[in-house]
Amino acid sequence: MNRSAILELIRQFNPIARSEISRLLELSMPTIIRIVDELIADGLVRSTGETAGEAGRPRELLEYNKSGGAVIGIDLGGTKLYGALANIGGEILGEVYKSQHASSGEESFALVIDMVQSLIQLTNEKQQKLLGIAVGAPGITHVKAGVVEWAPSLSWRDFPLKQRIADRFHLPVVVDNDVNLAVLGEQWFGAGKGVNNLVLLAIGTGMGAGIVIDGVIYRGHTESAGEVGYFLPGINALGQRYDQFGAMESIVSGTGIAERAKRSLYGGRTEVELEALTASDVFDAARKGESWAVQIVDETADYLSMVIGDIATFLDPELVILSGGVSDSTDLLIPPILRRLDGVIQHIPRLEVSTLGAKATAMGAISLILHLTKDYYVVRRLH
C-alpha cells in the first residue's frame, strides 16, 4: 500500500521531491527512499534532473515516467470493437477498430485475439515494454475470475475470457465491465480528473454506469453495480421479464430512442426508412423543430432526469459524466435535466460530457494493469 500511495502521489503532484512525499504520506525517509528506488528500477518513476528547495539544501525532483510501459486496452461495448495501445501516461500510441459481425461466441473471441495481436505487433514496432492487457466487456463481468457472465452482443455466456487470453499471450490480463474501465479512464485522464466521487453514465446501444466512491471503483456484492439500465421507469415495469435490455434502457438508450421513433412514425415512413432510423436522426430532427422528434427528446430528458436523480440521491456523487453515442446530443438533454431536477433532490451533481469518448476504456486499462502487475492500488486522492 505504501508503494501504491507513493506512485499515485508522484503521478498527482508531478514533479515532487522525496521529502515532500514523506511529509504528505507521513512515512519515514528510509521507507520513501527504498520504495522510490524500486519504482525507478521498474521504470515507473525517474529523476527530472532538476532540484528545488532552499540554497544549500537542494532536493531532487521525481516525475511519473509516462513512457515507462505500455498497456493494451480493448473496448467490446457497442457496435464497433475498439482497441488501443497506450503508454502509462495516457498517450495513445496506436488504435484498431473491428466491426461486430460475429455470429457466435468463438467468432467474437477470434476478433478479440486479432485485435490484441495487431496491438502487440505495434508494441514491438515502437519498442515499448508491454505491462498487460485489459478488456472491457459489456454486461456483468466477474473481475477476479475474468469471466463474462452474459454479453448478448458477443454471444458469450459464462465465458472465461481472462484465462483464454492469458493462455494465448502469456501476459497479465484484466477483464472488467466496459463502463467500469471507462469511469477509471475519466478519473485518471478525463473529465473526472481529481474527483473522488463520480459516476459515468454510458448511453449507447444499451445503458450502464461506472461508479467511483472515495477514489475506488465500486462493483457491488455480485459485481453488477451500475446496471442502471434495469432501473424501473414506473410500476408498469413490475412483473415483466427483461432478458436483453433492462426496462429503463429500453426507453432511453440509443436503441430505445430509435425504437420509440419508429413506433411514432409507423405508417408515415417506408419500411426501409424506418429500419435505417437512428437516435442521432431523432436528435437532428428535434433541432429542426419536428414535433414528433421534440416529443421523444422531451420524454428522454424526463427518464434520464429520473435516472440521474436516483443516482444522486443514493450515491451523492460530485460529478456525473455522460458518455456514449447519446452524449453527442447533450445540448438537448443537460439543460432540461437540470431544470427538471431543480428543487426535486437536495444536491444536484455536476453534469459533464466525457472528454475521452471511445478512448476512456483504454485509459482505464492503465490503472487496472498497474494494479495487477505492480501491486498498485488506487488510493484516495490528497487535496
Q: What's the pLDDT tens digit per position in 312-341? A: 999 999 999 999 988 889 999 999 999 999
In this prediction, residue 251 carries a pLDDT of 96
> Over the chain, what is the mean pLDDT?
90
In order of start, what are the domains of the chain with their CATH numbers?
A: 2-64 (1.10.10.10), 70-187+359-374 (3.30.420.40), 194-355 (3.30.420.40)
In this prediction, residue 102 carries a pLDDT of 79
For the cut 50, the answer to whether the pLDDT of residue 362 exceeds it is: yes
User: What average pLDDT does range 235-244 have in this prediction?
Assistant: 91
For the cut 80, the answer to whether the pLDDT of residue 374 exceeds it is: no
The tens digit of pLDDT for each residue in 178-198 reads 999 999 999 989 999 989 999
Does residue 354 sit in helix, strand or coil?
A: coil
H or E stretch at 8: helix 2-13
Q: State how far the Cα of 312 lies from the Cα of 309, in Å rounded to an integer.
A: 5
Q: State how far the Cα of 296 lies from the Cα of 301, in Å rounded to an integer.
A: 9
For the cut 80, the answer to whether the pLDDT of residue 105 exceeds it is: yes
The tens digit of pLDDT for each residue in 121-169 reads 999 998 889 999 999 998 889 999 999 998 888 999 999 999 999 999 9
Residues 6+ away with beta carbon under 8 Å from 124? none
Q: CB of 250 within 8 A of CB of 260? A: no
Q: What percent of the chain has pLDDT over 70?
A: 95
Q: In this structure, is the dihedral angle defined by the CA atoms of residues 85, 86, 91 and 97, taken in order, positive or negative? A: positive
CB-count exposure of residue 103 (10 Å: 0-12, 13-18, 19+): exposed
Q: State how far the Cα of 299 lies from the Cα of 252, in Å rounded to an integer.
A: 9
In this prediction, residue 378 carries a pLDDT of 40
For the question of whether the overall pTM of this predicted structure is more than 0.95, the answer is: no
Long-range contacts of 39-43 (CB under 8 A, 24+ apart): 39/3, 39/6, 39/7, 39/10, 42/68, 42/374, 43/68, 43/69, 43/129
In this prediction, residue 377 carries a pLDDT of 39
